[in-house]
């Protein structure tokens, strides 16, 4: 695992200027698109939120470009890529997957991760603040905040989501007969329906949680727990300590592993598709299969298309998670530790910057300068973070090579076919 740290430093030394350029380009395009969305959102919340996904795509595009810029300096990736062994995705012309394909398989997990990392909320907040600044506060009509962010689960919003999802599905279905530029439309439509769905979920989740908390059963449970903790105070301390440990451990492990999974999706064409021997003899499976076979040919064809779309959407994610799992618990634990140290370094750099600048007026200075300080720290650490993730993923691929070599040796000795490449 120490090789991951040395490989990280080598990647930084070899690719720092390129990574920095892509990060800055993504940040600038994202900022410009948020301003454009804010200008449109001042008159229509739906129109502004149809433009805002482009800002998230800009950041995703910069991360994809940074990951791809590092692949030529990842030895295990080069060897697996050159070996031509099984891949999760069909390679495009020239042995490289099209960038649009990488976008399409990355949008859903990245947007979900983006929302969990609170970055989606930060973009929405920046958009809302800029949109409110573009509005006339003395104009008649609903409140400015309602006009900017009041996106309801109504017929118009549902129709927009359905049209975006259906359009993306149809473009993929007839991609061979459509112009190449329609791939860009498919990427945008995918981003729109995912973004609007996550936005609505986040809006209604808070209200649903408040509704659940107000139920009599929940109130009775909280009162019973408080009474029990009052009688057995050590049990309450233990309970709170366990809750704190679970929350902190979950947060510490979720983000680095999510980043590593995203890297696995981007580098997914180098992942081996595991062949699992499964005999479909279970009565539930055979019952569903028989019912599907009995359907008309047209219905079966449409179901097959929908199933292929779902499989193509989740297979890269499943493959990345499987590869990370097989790399070993201890190496991944050390990667999480290194990521946590790097993340903590950002906090310490912010504190050092505040101490170095010295005391200033809160409203006249820090309210305007703090964003600049956070941006400078991000510029310093984000390329290093990407290099650490890429180096850890290259380690996972090296473990994959070792398993393949061991399986080949065992197969040559026993005369059997390796288990990982055995067909169904």
What would the pLDDT profile of 217-238 be if each residue is shown by its tens digit?
777 767 777 777 777 777 777 7
Whether the model pTM is above 0.95: no
Confidence band for 2, pLDDT divided at 50, 70 and 90: confident
pLDDT of residue 115 exceeding 50, the answer is yes
Q: What is the mean pLDDT of residues 30-58?
A: 88
pLDDT of residue 94 exceeding 60, the answer is no
In this prediction, residue 28 carries a pLDDT of 93
- 265 with 258: CB under 8 angstroms? no
Choose the weakest-confidence range: 32-36, 117-121, 292-296.
292-296
Choose the weakest-confidence range: 59-73, 95-109, 135-149.
135-149
**Average of per-residue pLDDT values in the chain:** 76
Contacts of 321 (CB under 8 A, 6+ apart): 261, 264
In this prediction, residue 277 carries a pLDDT of 39
Confidence band for 1, pLDDT divided at 50, 70 and 90: low
- Dist. CA 124–CA 195, nearest whole Å: 11
- 401 with 271: CB under 8 angstroms? no
In this prediction, residue 49 carries a pLDDT of 86
* Per-residue pLDDT reduced to its tens digit, 305-336: 555 555 666 667 777 777 788 787 888 888 88
pLDDT of residue 50 exceeding 60, the answer is yes
- 377 with 353: CB under 8 angstroms? yes
pLDDT of residue 421 exceeding 80, the answer is no
Cα 387 to Cα 70, 71, 263, 392, distances in angstroms = 8, 10, 11, 9
Q: What is the mean pLDDT of residues 13-32?
A: 92
Q: What is the mean pLDDT of residues 266-281?
A: 51
């Amino acid at each position: 695992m120490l090789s991951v740290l040395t490989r990280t430093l080598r990647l930084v030394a070899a690719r720092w200027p390129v990574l920095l350029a892509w990060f800055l380009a993504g940040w600038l395009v994202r900022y410009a698109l948020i301003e454009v969305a804010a200008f449109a959102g001042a008159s229509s919340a739906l129109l502004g939120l149809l433009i805002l996904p482009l800002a998230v795509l800009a950041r995703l595009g910069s991360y994809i470009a940074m990951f791809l810029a590092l692949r030529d300096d990842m030895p295990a990736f080069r060897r697996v890529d050159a070996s031509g062994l099984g891949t999760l995705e069909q390679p495009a012309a020239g042995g490289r997957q099209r960038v649009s394909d990488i976008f399409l398989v990355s949008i859903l997990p990245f947007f979900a991760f983006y929302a969990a990392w609170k970055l989606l909320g930060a973009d929405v907040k920046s958009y809302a603040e800029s949109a409110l600044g573009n509005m006339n506060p003395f104009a008649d009509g609903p409140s400015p905040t309602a006009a900017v962010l009041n996106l309801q689960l109504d017929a118009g919003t549902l129709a927009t989501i359905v049209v975006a999802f259906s359009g993306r599905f149809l473009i993929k279905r007839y991609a061979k007969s459509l112009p190449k530029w329609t791939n860009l439309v498919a990427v945008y439509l995918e981003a729109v329906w995912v973004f609007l769905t996550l936005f609505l979920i986040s809006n209604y989740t808070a209200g649903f949680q408040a509704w659940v908390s107000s139920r009599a059963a929940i109130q009775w449970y909280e009162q019973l727990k408080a009474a029990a903790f009052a009688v057995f105070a050590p049990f309450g301390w233990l309970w709170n300590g366990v809750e704190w440990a679970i929350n902190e451990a979950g947060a510490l492990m979720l983000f680095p592993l999510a980043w590593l999974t995203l890297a696995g999706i981007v580098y997914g064409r180098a992942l081996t598709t595991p062949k699992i021997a499964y005999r479909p003899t279970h009565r539930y499976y055979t019952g569903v299969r028989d019912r599907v076979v009995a359907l008309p040919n047209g219905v079966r064809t449409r179901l097959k298309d929908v199933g292929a779309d779902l499989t193509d959407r989740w297979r890269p994610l499943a493959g990345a998670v499987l590869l990370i799992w097989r790399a070993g618990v201890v190496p991944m634990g050390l990667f999480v530790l290194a990521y946590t140290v790097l993340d903590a370094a950002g906090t310490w750099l912010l504190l050092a910057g505040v101490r170095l600048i010295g005391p200033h007026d809160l409203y006249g200075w820090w309210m305007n300068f703090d964003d600049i300080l956070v941006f400078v720290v991000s510029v310093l650490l984000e390329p290093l973070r990407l290099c650490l993730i890429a180096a850890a993923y290259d380690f996972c691929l090296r473990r994959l090579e070792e398993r393949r070599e061991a399986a080949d040796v065992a197969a040559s000795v026993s005369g059997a076919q390796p288990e990982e490449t055995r067909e169904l």
